[in-house]
Amino acid sequence: MRNSVWLWITNCCESENCGSAEAVLFLIFGIMKTPVYLDYNATTPVDKRVLEAMLPYFTNKFGNASSRTHAFGWVAEDAVKIAREQVAQLINCTSQEIVFTSGATEAINLAIKGVWENYQFKGKHIITVKTEHKAVLDTCKALEKRGAEVTYLSVNREGLIDIEDLKSALKSRTILVAVMYVNNETGVIQPIRQIADIVHTNNSIFMCDATQAIGKINCDVEKEHIDLLCISAHKFYGPKGVGALYIRRKSPRVTLVAQMDGGGHERGLRSGTLNVPGIVGLGEACGIAQREMYDDAKRILNLRTRLEQSLCDFLDVFINGNIQNRLFNVSNLTFKGIRSETLINKLPTIAVAMGSACTSAIAEPSHVLKAMGVSDEDSYSTIRFSLGKYTTEDEIDEVIERVSNVVNGLRCK
Ligand SMILES: Cc1ncc(COP(=O)(O)O)c(C=O)c1O
């Protein structure tokens, strides 16, 4: 029932006569309102400018970017070249250092497994962090079955790693250290440059899953000394199913073993016909982010502050994650004594996440909050609000009002 109502609402809002559809809806469901989307860390809508840039590459400019013998192929190849430049500019690298993938999960797999297969002559030790995304943790676990020795660093109550722990975990046989830029559940930002420099003193490779950082804050691979960086388009208003891996070419030059065999696309690192419309979309999303992300960030931060101040001041709510080093769009809140499932069920038209969106089908306490020392009970009372560039002040006010009413109602029982 809940799913079909949602579908109907979103379809109505897409249609031309959205206003009248909403009015009918309001009459039928009484208290139901337009849905508010606060799950931007799970995925974002495609920016209309991104969509417009992509559309010709589905129809009249449909060529295969590898077709060298005719103009259809050349047009597609040119578009990929421009997109590669746009991605490179956003993270301050050269376009030869970008490999297009199907998203961050694939980029992470290529980076970690690619290093593992290429550098085993140096050692079999990998370091990562307990709060990483499953794409990193499960890839490391898969390598453990193949003989890798993996150290999972702990974090403190605020979600930050201890630099001394990293120093003492490094061994002469450590080939790779993987630390995410921004945590997808809490928004906590790790001190990337400091971590990278320590990793390099040990001559190890530093990989950074920047899926939640790219397009939101400045991620400069030169400034931050990152060797491998993972990107996903759908987290910053690009299409789903496309991403990229940055692979440093000098100081140090990083080489990987490809994980996909085939036609040798992407300089042999990722075989498979290029997803030209998706790549064009990723490029355009990067271009837009480069121009607009700082203004978006200011506006979104104000909205998040408004949300947190209202909810935390009046309800028994606490924020998870380091307050100073936290991305501006995420608010991971524990509503003491209230099951998040109950809260979410009572707010059917507000889209939020209980744990990590990618694993929210599994009813287990979040591994991120667990690593931070949050009790299972509090973890089950936690909701992640993630705001985006289309979030409005009205929506935030509405969320504050609706959440407050439901929480107060539940607490009075
Ligand atoms: C931090 C982080 N890494 C990796 C991923 C996986 O990204 P993709 O959906 O592009 O495979 C996600 C998706 O939620 C994420 O938040």
Buried b (16+ CB within 10 A) or exposed e, 398-408: bbbebbeebbe
* Cα–Cα distances in angstroms (integers) from residue 329 to residues 1, 45, 210, 245, 388, in the given order: 30, 15, 15, 24, 7
pLDDT at residue 31 greater than cutoff 80: no
For ligand 1, is residue 44 a contact (CB within 6 Å)? no
Q: Is the dihedral of CA 228, 93, 330, 319 positive or negative?
A: positive
pLDDT of 62 over the 90 cut: yes
Rounded to the nearest 10 degrees, the angle between the axes of helix 2-14 and helix 18-29 is 150
Pocket test for ligand 1, best of 130, 230, 356, 358 (most atoms within 8 A of CB): 358
pLDDT for the residue numbered 51: 98
Judge if the beta carbon of residue 139 lies within 6 A of ligand 1: no
| Pairing assessment for the beta strands 174-178 and 205-209 based on DSSP bridges | parallel
Q: What number is the average pLDDT over the span 33-61?
A: 96
Could you tell which of 101, 133, 179, 359 is best to mutate to test the pocket of ligand 1, judged by most ligand atoms within 8 Å of the CB? 133
**Looking at residue 364, what is its pLDDT?**
86
- The answer to whether residue 23 scores a pLDDT higher than 70 is no
- Cα 26 to ligand 1 centroid, rounded to whole Å: 36
Q: Can you give the pLDDT at residue 196?
A: 98
- Between the alpha carbon of residue 411 and those of residues 353, 377, 379, 402, the distances in Å are 21, 16, 18, 14
Query: Whole-angstrom Cα distance, residue 264 to residue 223?
Result: 31
Across-strand partners of 317? 335
Neighbours of 314 (CB within 10 A): 12
**Single-letter amino acid, residue 397:** D
* Ordered structural domains, the chain, with CATH: 26-47+292-408 (3.90.1150.10), 48-288 (3.40.640.10)
Confidence (pLDDT) at 6:
54
286 is catalytic: no
Closest by Cα among 227, 220, 219, 224 to 250:
227
Spacing, Cα 106 to ligand 1 middle (Å): 10
Is the beta carbon of 384 within 6 A of some atom in ligand 1?
A: no
Q: Is 244 left (phi over 0), alpha (psi -120 to 50) or beta?
A: beta
Q: How far is the C-alpha of 108 from the C-alpha of 230, rounded, in Å?
A: 6
Query: Cα–Cα distance between 120 and 143 in angstroms, integer?
Result: 12
Check residue 357 and give its pLDDT: 41
Residue 30 has pLDDT above 60, yes or no: no
Paired with 245 in beta bridges are: 99, 230
pLDDT band with cut points at 50, 70 and 90 for residue 21: low
Token pair in block for residue 79: 């578009």
- Region 334-360 average pLDDT: 83
For residues 171-196, average pLDDT? 98
Higher-confidence residue of 164 and 312: namely: 164
- pLDDT tens for 320-337 read 999 999 999 999 999 999
**Overall average pLDDT of the 192-211 stretch:** 98
Q: How far is the CA of 10 from the centre of ligand 1 (A)?
A: 24
pLDDT at 14: 52
Query: In which element (H, E) is residue 136 found?
Result: helix 134-145
Q: Is 109 in the pocket of ligand 1 (CB under 6 A)?
A: no
Residue nearest to atom 8 of ligand 1 (CA): 104
CA of 404 to the centre of ligand 1 (A): 31
**pLDDT for residue 315:** 80
Residue 11: predicted pLDDT: 54
The order of strands in the sheet holding 243-247 is 98-101, 243-247, 228-232, 205-209, 174-178, 125-129, 149-153
Long-range pairs, 1-9, Cβ under 8 A, ≥24 = 2/348, 5/29, 5/32, 5/348, 6/35, 6/348, 6/349, 9/34, 9/35, 9/349
184 lines ligand 1 (CB under 6 A): yes
Indicate whether 137 pLDDT > 90: yes
Lowest-confidence region among 2-6, 124-128, 247-251? 2-6
Catalytic residue (one of 12, 13, 312, 358): 358
Q: What is the pLDDT of residues 82-131, one digit of tens each?
A: 999 999 999 999 999 999 999 999 999 999 999 999 999 999 999 999 99
**Lowest-pLDDT range, 15-29, 228-242, 361-375?**
15-29
For residue 234, what are the CA distances in angstroms to 46, 104, 328, 394, 405?
Answer: 7, 10, 18, 25, 33
Confidence of residue 358 (pLDDT cuts 50, 70, 90): very low
- Is the Cβ–Cβ distance between 60 and 276 less than 8 Å? no
Whole-number Å distance, alpha carbon 147 to ligand 1 midpoint, is: 26
Residue 212 identity (one-letter amino acid): Q
Q: What pLDDT sits at residue 10?
A: 52
pLDDT at 316: 87
Arithmetic mean of pLDDT over the chain: 92
How many residues can be counted in the chain?
A: 413
For residue 101 and ligand 1, the question of a CB distance below 6 A is answered with no
Q: Is 212 in the pocket of ligand 1 (CB under 6 A)?
A: yes
d(CA 245, CA 97): 8
Q: Is 37 helix (H, G, I), strand (E, B) or coil?
A: strand
Banded model confidence at residue 3, pLDDT cuts 50, 70, 90: low
User: DSSP string spanning 40-84?
Assistant: TTT--PPPHHHHHHHGGGTTTT---TT--SSHHHHHHHHHHHHHH
- Rounded-to-integer distance, Cα 348 and Cα 1, Å: 11
Please, what sign has the CA dihedral across residues 340, 346, 352, 353? positive
